[in-house]
Amino acid sequence: MATLGGHGFGAKVALATAISNLERCTGVINLDGGPLDHRFYESYQELESYVHAANKLNVSTLDLATA
């Protein structure tokens, strides 16, 4: 469980991550993110696709020593 936070674009990332992981987030601290519905903006849709792709990564199989 986590509470996420961010400022500016980081606030949008925190919010998108929390929305995609409702069962794992206790809250969001959103500084300067604006109360706008970004779901229909191309940049938000691109960000959302990155968040979904990151959620699908199996980090236990990554070899971070060679990264």
Is residue 28 pLDDT above 60, yes or no?
A: yes
Round the average pLDDT of the chain to a whole number and report it. 81
What pLDDT does residue 46 have? Answer: 85
Is 14 buried (19+), middle (13-18) or exposed (0-12) by CB count in 10 A?
buried
Q: What's residue 33's pLDDT?
A: 55
Confidence of residue 51 (pLDDT cuts 50, 70, 90): confident
User: Does this model's pTM top 0.75?
Assistant: no
17: Cα separation from own chain's centroid: 3
Q: For residues 48 and 15, is the Cβ–Cβ distance under 8 A?
A: no
